Amino acid sequence: MIVRADLHIHTTLSDGVNSPKEVVLASFYKGLNAIAITDHDTFQGAIVARRFVGELDMIVIVGCEVSSTKGDIIVLCDEPITISRNINDLIDKAHDNNCLVIPAHPFDENRNSIREEIYDYEWDAIEVYNASSTEYANKQALIAAKIMGLPGVGNSDAHSIDKIGIVYNKILVDNFSIDDIFESIRKNKVKIIRR
């Protein structure tokens, strides 16, 4: 089975312009069947969004874009965890709870990005294509993923519903579940689609 997932989306619970409900509906109508709402330093956007899935054939992954001391980090979980701005503590807590830890727009010079320190930590994947980053920054992220032998994901980093899904991931899974999505990302069963 193929899951079509945008794993980096913001809502009004941080700096997005659309509500969690609007994000869920727009994502569904754009053909996505999994999304991660990754509001800044809070899981609340995803928690609220889950209320609106109802009968839709869609998974909302609980996510957060953590403003760590070294750069922005995407944390994707089944359920919220306590977040830390210290990367080592954040990674340990995330991995203890079967969450994915992914540096967001890692080489974007215009945002809070980890840059060269990306090589100092144990990630589950690298955001190698961010629709809001430059081609150069995305190319540097792709190079880092290859050097580190890690899977790459691509995301919209949408702050409004018109941007949702302009970049997304086709993920090959055995079952339509968060655990299978995470396992497939770890095993690099991902193809990035740019619209």
Tell me the average pLDDT of the chain. Answer: 98
Q: What is the pTM of this model?
A: 0.97
With 90 as the cut, is the pLDDT of residue 195 above it? no
Nearest to 83 by CA among 62, 58, 61: 62
Tens-place pLDDT, residues 58-95: 999 999 999 999 999 999 999 999 999 999 999 999 99
Burial class (CB in 10 A: 0-12, 13-18, 19+), 50: middle
Assess contact for 18 and 47: CB atoms under 8 A.
Answer: no
pLDDT tens, residue by residue, 112-121: 999 999 999 9
Q: Which fold has domain 2-194?
A: TIM Barrel (3.20.20)
pLDDT single digits (tens) 24-50? 999 999 999 999 999 999 999 999 999
Say how many Å lie between the first and final Cα of the chain, rounded. Answer: 21
| CA nearest neighbour of 36 among 184, 192, 143, 182 | 182
Q: Tell me what pLDDT residue 42 has.
A: 98
Phi-psi domain of 191 (left: phi exceeds 0; alpha: psi -120 through 50; beta: other): beta
Binning the chain into helix, strand and coil, the percentages to the nearest 5 are 30, 25, 45
41 neighbors 66 (Cβ within 8 angstroms): yes
Contact 119, 148 (CB under 8 A): yes
Nearest to 74 by CA among 172, 58, 149, 83: 83
User: Domain-by-domain residue ranges, the chain?
Assistant: 2-194
Per residue in 127-137, pLDDT (tens digit) is: 999 999 999 99
Instruction: Report the alpha-carbon distance of residue 192 to residue 38 in Å, rounded.
Output: 19
